[in-house]
């Protein structure tokens, strides 16, 4: 089931308006693949008819489904391990004097947020700390809250952490793992669009992970996103970005400590 160039352009324009991300023409097969099932479920015989229905704006829920499909990306635990190694060293050298808060600002299905939580539980124990995860997609936020994952996504997780913080699935859950309740209770998830004003009750953080999302934006959009995000970062707090992302050309109050790690203020 394919779509016309006009339908693809309409989806691209709509998606950019909502997310700030402009899909390149080479993404057309991906868009077609991800929207096919939605078109069938909506009772539409073709993707073009489905897009026509979508553009009429008669079903906001359908638009949410499309945004969810187009923003879903698979990730895994302890991706880019240098960041976790740095944070562990920093916490040993600078034990927090009060509550320690970390924000996973593009948390997808939650693997990053729970990786951070494992590290904090190991380093800080029962001292006050919490992790907040946000994402544009409602479906991945719900996945994160369930905390149930294929074992394959834990392939880079230290064995000691797997034994301590994860439950191995059995029976119908064979091949999956569940994050233990004690850890889940320290982590919360909510929807937030980094291209729009952030929730006023989000609060301030000691560390923000903003990884592997800026690559989708041009320099002006990057600057707006980072400026908005670091408004929630304590002075001298840390910002982590993806190793393929650079903030060097942005005029922001950030100082590079090492590749993809910055301090604020």
Residues in the chain: 265
Instruction: Name the H helices within the chain.
Output: 5-19, 28-41, 47-55, 60-71, 81-93, 111-124, 138-146, 159-165, 181-184, 219-230
**Closest by CA position to 245, among listed 225, 265, 222:** 222
**Alpha carbon distance 262, 241 (integer Å):** 8
Q: Catalytic amino acids? A: 34, 135
Q: 198 burial class (0-12, 13-18, 19+ CB within 10 angstroms)?
A: middle
Give CA torsion, residues 95, 101, 106, 110, to 10 deg.
90
**Alpha carbon distance 154, 238 (integer Å):** 25
């Amino acid at each position: 089931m394919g779509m016309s160039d006009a339908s693809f352009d309409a989806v691209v324009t709509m998606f950019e308006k909502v997310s700030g991300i402009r899909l390149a023409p080479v993404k057309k097969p991906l868009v077609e693949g991800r929207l096919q099932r939605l078109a069938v479920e909506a009772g539409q015989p073709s993707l073009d008819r489905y897009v026509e229905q979508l553009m009429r704006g008669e079903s906001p829920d359908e638009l949410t489904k499309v945004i969810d499909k187009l923003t879903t990306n698979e990730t895994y635990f302890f991706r880019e391990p240098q960041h976790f190694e740095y944070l562990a060293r920093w916490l040993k050298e600078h034990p927090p004097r009060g509550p320690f808060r970390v924000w996973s600002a593009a948390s997808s299905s939650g693997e990053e947020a729970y990786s951070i939580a494992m590290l904090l539980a190991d380093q800080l124990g029962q001292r006050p700390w919490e992790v907040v995860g946000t994402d544009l997609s409602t479906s991945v936020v719900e996945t994160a809250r369930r905390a149930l994952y294929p074992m394959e996504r834990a392939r880079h997780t230290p064995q000691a952490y797997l034994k301590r913080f994860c439950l191995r699935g059995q029976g119908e859950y064979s091949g999956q793992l569940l994050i233990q309740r004690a850890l889940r209770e320290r982590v919360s998830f909510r929807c937030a669009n980094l291209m729009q004003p952030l929730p006023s009750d989000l609060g301030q953080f000691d560390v923000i992970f903003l990884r592997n999302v800026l690559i989708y934006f041009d320099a002006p959009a990057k600057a707006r996103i980072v400026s908005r995000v670091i408004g929630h970062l304590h002075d001298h707090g840390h910002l982590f970005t993806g190793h393929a992302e650079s903030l060097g050309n942005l005029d922001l109050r950030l100082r590079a400590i090492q590749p993809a790690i910055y301090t604020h203020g």
